[in-house]
Structure formats: structure tokens, C-alpha cells
Amino acid sequence: AAASQAPPSSLLSQEEKMELRYGKGVKAKLFALQHPADCSSARYVVAEKHGGSGFGSRFWFYRMCLSKAFILGRVFLQMWTGPMDFQHLEPWTNCTPATKQAAVALHGPEAVVGCTWPGDVLLWMNAMPPEYTQFGLLWWQSQLVSYLFRPDQNLQKLIAENEAFLSRPYASMHIRYHPLKKAESGRRQPFKNYLRMVPSNWTNIFVSADKNITSHTSKYPDYTYVYKGKWEKGTDVLVDILMLASSNRLVFTYSSCFGQMAMHVQLGRDFCAPVHAVDNFHHTMGLSFHLFREDEVPALAQQFDVTGLSDEAIDRCVAVLRKTEQANEGLGTWRDHVTSLQTTAASMRLFIVSFHWPIHLPKRSTVIQACDDGLVRDTGGVTWAL
């Protein structure tokens, strides 16, 4: 009788386990939506602003717009790119500005929906399709970044040539030691914190750093360090990110967009990949926040549940948020944005959910079911012993 009972809803099917780990189904859906049979009859999410001058800010903007397009069932078309953003990557869509204009002629203005920064950040930065909520936002955003960072054949060849200098298994480290932004100050990690994430019997380490760190690596001569090389112009950033993501173990910090991109690419390929963050501080497009597991969010949300509260009580919530922000610099450059929000329960809740724990992780039990190889993993600042 017990054998005939349906399994608990919390259990993943074999198909769901494979989707959580490799995301083949969602990758196929992303590609199909971005490559319609007839672009002139498609509907679009069009972005003409880049969301920031830096490479990381631009790609987080692209990621947000791609997510918006997927959720709305539209094609994401980026009208403006930074220098060499698309070089050496597979095309994101087969549609063009010309086919977009044809779609407008066919459907009218509703054929195009804009994607803007910072206008769309509050609603779309951390949105995700309801059919994938059980996998968590980190998983969803990793699928998006993995799609955006598909290397073309020339870049794949370049990466393979450079991987030849490394024998597996090898770990990779992204280390940012140049002066950090104000929102990230005081969070620089000592080199030993990176190194302790590497298994003791591994000796090969690929290092991508923004300054010469031989004064640190020389203290640990038992390792063989391979540093970023002089890649072909226009490929250096992409090669570094993909080399980091191709390693057997990635060590990085959330406080760097560069390290986050490598993490997303690696987890987009295999969500069970061992990625190790030496901090739990996340900074993206001027926003700063911490990471929480999905099953931690409800308890945290109760602390800031403002349903039915008076304006006076909501003002006290704002004061609490400000104190929290000042303690951990949790809002970064968006400090003044708090006071610009309408003091209503709805807007305050949206603010809290969007900015204080946006990158929630799948529940621990969900990950254990899909990654049952007995390894110890550290994903999103939470160590899972599987």
C-alpha cells in the first residue's frame, strides 16, 4: 500500500533533477524564443540603453532585459552595445532592427516594449518565470547569463589552447584588489581566504586578478599559478570569465560583478558545480544586498511585513532599513531611493523583497536531490554537505 502512494510534492522527478542541474529545457526555450521563424511578426523587448558604463553593469542590464522578454514571451533585442560586447559570442537573436520595424508596421506600437535602467530595475531585475520558481532565482539568472555567454568557434578554440597549459583538476580564482567602490569598501578578502577553498591535493590554479598579486602567491610556493595572458584584443574579458567558469572549482567574491559572471556561467552549465564565494556580499548595477536560501526568506520577510501598517509605522520601517543599510552598506548608491518611495505598504514590501534578498537559492533539499554525488558544495554563501 505504501508503495502505491504518490511521492511528496517536494520530491523532484528525474526530469526535474536533470533540469535543475543542466537546464537543457530552459536553454532550448530561450533559444527558440530568441530565434523565431518569422522575426517580422514577432513581438519585442527592446533596450537602447546599456545600464552602466562598465562591462559588468552592461551584462546585468542585458540579463534583466532577456529575463523580461522571456517572461513576456517576446524577443529581446539590444539596440546599443558597448565596445566588443557581442564579438566572439554566438548571436543572441536572429532578429534585427529592420525586422523590429516590420513588426511595428504589422502589429502597431504594442509590438515593442521597452527595457530601461533604472526604470525597470525594481520590477524586472529579479523577476523570474513562475514555472521555475522552485529552482530559485540564482538558477534562473545563471541560465540567462549562460545563454548570453555562448562563445563562438574562434573563442572556443582560444580557450582550449589556453586550457592546454593547465592539467585537471584545476581551481580558478578571481581576485579583485584594486580600490573598490564605496558600497564595497572594507570587504577585500586576504589571499589565504581564497586558497583555503582549494582542495589540499590540487596544485594547479588559474588566477585572474586586476593587479599583480605575486607578493601574495609567493607565500604559497607549493602551487602552480597560471595567470591571465595577453589574449587577442577584444577577447580578454570573455576569455578570463570563460576560463574561470571552465575550472573544476571556482573561487570568487560576490562583491565583484566579474566574479559573479563566472559563477553564473559555471552554474548555468552545471548547477551542481562547486563554486566557492569567500564573501556573501552581492553588488550589481549600483545595488548591494546579501544572499539567502529560499527557505530562509519567509522568516526574514515576517520581520518587515508591513501589511496594514500606518504611515507612521512604515516610517519606522524605513528607519530600520536605513540603520541596516548603514551597518552593512546594503543599499549602496541607492541610499536616497528609500525616501523617494511612496510610503505605502505595497511599495515598501516591493522594496524589501526586491532589494534585501533578491538572489534566493533553491531549498537545500532540492539541491541535495539533484546533486547526490557526496561532495561538499558552497553555493551562494551557504555550504551544503551533500
- Measured between its terminal Cα atoms, the distance across the chain in Å is 30
Rounded to 5, what percent of the chain is helix, strand, coil? 45, 15, 40
Beta-carbon neighbour count of residue 288 at 10 Å? 25
List, in order, residues 6 or more apart from 110 with CB less than 8 Å away.
43
- Show me where the domains of the chain are located: 14-148, 153-178+189-277, 288-356
Q: For residues 23 and 20, what is the distance between their CA atoms, to the nearest angstrom?
A: 6
CA–CA gap between residue 98 and residue 102 (Å, rounded): 6
Distance CA 238, CA 248 (A): 18
Cα distance between residue 280 and residue 289, in whole Å: 9
242-288: pLDDT as tens digits? 999 999 999 988 778 888 899 899 989 988 888 887 875 555 544 44
**Could you tell me whether strands 112-114 and 75-78 are parallel, antiparallel, or unpaired per DSSP bridges?**
unpaired
Tell me the mean pLDDT in the region 297-313: 50
* Rounded CA separation 63/257 (Å): 13
DSSP 8-state secondary structure symbol assigned to residue 276: E
Q: What is the mean pLDDT of the chain?
A: 73
**Which of these, 349, 317, 354, 320, lies nearest to 334 by C-alpha position?**
354
- 187 secondary structure, DSSP code: -
Cα separation, 138 vs 125, whole angstroms:
12
Cell digits of residue 366: 532540492
CATH class of 153-178+189-277: alpha beta
Q: Find where cell 519606522 sits.
A: 316
C-alpha distances out from residue 31 to 66, 196, 259, Å? 11, 39, 25
Cβ within 8 Å of residue 340, ≥6 positions away: none
Q: What is the pLDDT of residues 308-341, one digit of tens each?
A: 545 565 555 555 444 444 433 333 333 333 333 3
For residue 219, name the pLDDT band (cuts at 50, 70, 90). Answer: very high
The distance of Cα 65 from the centroid of its chain, to the nearest Å, equals: 13
Which of the listed ranges 20-29, 227-236, 334-343 does the model predict with the highest average pLDDT? 20-29
- At residue 82, what is the residue type? G
Lowest mean pLDDT among 1-15, 19-33, 322-336: 322-336
